[in-house]
Each structure stands twice: as C-alpha cells, then as structure tokens.
Amino acid sequence: MKKLNRKTFLKAAAISTVAVAGGILPGCSTEVNKSAAIISNKKYEWKMVTTWPPHFPILGEYVDKFAKWVESMSQGRLKIHVYGGNELVPPLETFDAVSSGVAEMGHGAAYYWAGKAPAAQFFGSVPFGMNAVQVNAWFNYGGGLKLWRELYSRFGLIPFPCGNTGGQMGGWFNKKINSIKDIKGLKMRIPGLGGKVFTRAGGSAILAPVGELYTDLDRGVIDALEWIGPYHDYLMGFNKIAKYYYYPGWHEPGSPIELIVNKKAFDGLPNDLKDIIRVAAGQVTILMLSEFEAKNTEYYYKILNEGKVKYLPFPNDVLSTFKKLNDEVLNEITSKDAMSNKVYASYKKFHKNISGWFNIAERNYS
Ligand code: CA
C-alpha cells in the first residue's frame, strides 16, 4: 500500500473517501478477481469443531452464524458443518483435530493451548493486560496477529481473531474479601494465568467441568468461582447461591476468541473463499463483542435490581498483590520459552503505549 501523507491523502480523498478509510480488511487479498468467470464452481464441505457446548449462548451461536454467513456469501460453494464440544471431538482436542486435519476449522480460545505452546496464552486474555479494543488493535495493527500466525504455523494452523467476550467479572464469593489474607485457603474455580496468580496468593485454583460448577459452589466443594459476566453467570444461576459478585475481572480484561484453520485446507481454497472466511471472522469479532456488552449491561441491572446479590470491588491491596504475583508468573513463562519472550515483549510494549493514549482519550472522557 502507498504511504499516506497530506498530499496523497487529499488526492485519495477527492477520489473516494471509502478508499482512504481503509476499505480493505487487514490481511485480505488485495487482488480483485478480474472476471467473475474465473471463479471456480468447485464445492467444499468442511467440518468445524469448537470448545463450546453446542449452540452455547453467544459463543456457540456465533459459530453457527459464521457457518451460515460463509455458506450464503459463497453461494453454497463452502459449506461448514459445525460440531459443538464432544459432538466430534472433546472440546480441548479442538486444536489437535484442526492441526491433524480431522476438521478443517475450529473455534475456541488460545489460552486453552498453553500446554502445547506457552506463548499461546498471550493471544488469549492476559491478567491485567489489554482490553478487547486494545488487543484487537494489537492483533491487526501492532504486529500481534503476525506473531500469532508465526506460533501456530508450527502446528500447520492459521489463526484469526474471531470474537471477544469483553471485560469479565471477578467472580462469585460467599465470604467477603477484605484483604489478601482472605484469599488464603480459598478454593476457587479460576483457570489459566489467573489461576496461577490465585494459587501464589495462597488460594487454590480448581478446574471443574462447567456442568458441575453450580453444584460445587452450592455444596461448598469450592468457595468461589469466576465464569464470564452478568449474562452468562445469571443463566448459570450463580446469583441464587452466592452473596457477593466481585469486580473487576482482573484475570480476563477482554478475552479474545479465535478461529483456527488448517493451513493446507486454507491454501487450497480460491482467493474469494479465503476472503469470505476473513471477512466473516471479522464480522464475528465486532458483533460478538457488541452482544456481550449489550447483554451484560442488561443483566448487570437485572441482578442489581433483584437485590439479592451485592456487587463489591476487590480491595486495592488484593489487586496490587495479584498484579505483583502476575508479573512473577509472566516473567517465569517468558524466561523459559523464547517465543513467549518475543510475543510478550511486543504485547507489553503495545499495551504500555496504548494505555497512554487511552488515558488521554478514553479515561478522561468517561
Ligand atoms: Ca472467565
């Protein structure tokens, strides 16, 4: 693309404002098919596996929509059969299934693959890291997606940002957290990096299947849990069995959701079908975040107005201790793995810079 200065900007603006606004999605093919006649009529039938239960609210629903959009935009040339978790493979085998070609596509979250590639954690949500808007800026215009592709290319996969949950909540507790001492001995369902931090703070991070969370908290098998935010948490019924709903979701400030595509399968597609996949994934990223924010707003008030649950902020000393322990956890990961070090250096630098900008533009406004 030609470099934009004042002169070329004005010239381009005179021709078309759309072109200047960036009508071409990052990463999209810039070569437009010269003639519609060269588009082949070859039909593709693909399988798509997911880490979510079938048709799971918002997350699974968008996989269904993605498949529908791709089929419609391609006029039936690319048909995607969606399989929810356990319908074709177990949820946490999504990555391997797409890597080995059992399915051509998968939908999930990168931090699930920490055991295979530690650096994957930086493409999921990082505690005290970037929010949804910031992380998308890093992916598309800060080098994040390039690093993500570099990491996944070892597994024969191409990742695409494909959704985001937005900022999450800190979790459900039945005991007040007044200081970091109250974390000691507490059993909480909290996965990933957040769980490592929680354990370092003296608690124990428990991993329990989603279907058992309600009973575990109700029966006291666990003392606390985090899930997503007001909408999903209300659907799970946690408001009926916990007294306090803590904020902020320090451990998941905006969790990116990913689409993974088997590289060999993707490379075999004609350019227009590749672009249809890219554009549909981009559309999911925007709409999923919008729906999360709208539904969480609605259910935040619903829980508040029902009056049974108290919203409480984590005390400052708890958050600052979590932050310090998180730095230790991240340092340990990056010191042991060269790719994690490379990815986190880019992430950290972008986060620092964009935080400066957000301080001026967003924080002062809100
Ligand atoms: Ca969560």
Domain ranges of the chain: 44-164+255-293
Residues that place a CB less than 5 A from ion ligand 1: 168, 252
Give pairs for 206-214: CB < 8 Å, separation 24+. Answer: 210/53, 213/189, 213/238, 214/238, 214/241
- CA angle, 108 as apex, 102 and 113 as ends, to 5°? 80
Distance CA 240, CA 111 (A): 30
Distance (Å) from CA 22 to ligand 1 centroid: 34
Query: What is the DSSP secondary structure assignment for residue 91, as one 8-state letter?
Result: G
CATH architecture of 44-164+255-293: 3-Layer(aba) Sandwich (3.40)
Distance (Å) from CA 257 to ligand 1 centroid: 12
Distance (Å) from CA 228 to ligand 1 centroid: 4
pTM of the predicted model as reported, rounded to 2 decimal places: 0.90
Cβ-based neighbour number of residue 272 at 10 Å:
18
Strand-pair partners of 160: 259
Contact 47, 83 (CB under 8 A): yes
Distance (Å) from CA 123 to ligand 1 centroid: 15
Cis ω on the peptide bond leading into residue 315 (within 30° of 0)? no
CA 274, 113, 293, 22 torsion-angle sign: negative
Per-position pLDDT tens, the chain of length 366:
456 676 765 665 554 433 333 334 445 555 555 544 456 789 999 999 999 999 999 999 999 999 999 999 999 999 999 999 999 999 999 999 999 999 999 999 999 999 999 999 999 999 999 999 999 999 999 999 999 999 999 999 999 999 999 999 999 999 999 999 999 999 999 988 999 999 999 999 998 778 889 999 999 999 999 999 999 999 999 999 999 999 999 999 999 999 999 999 999 999 999 999 999 999 999 999 999 999 999 999 999 999 999 999 999 999 999 999 999 999 999 999 999 999 999 999 999 999 999 999 988 888
Query: What is the DSSP secondary structure assignment for residue 359, as one 8-state letter?
Result: I
Cβ-based neighbour number of residue 226 at 10 Å:
26
Q: Of 37, 47, 41, which is closest to residue 77 (Cα–Cα)? A: 41
- CA angle, 1 as apex, 258 and 344 as ends, to 5°? 40
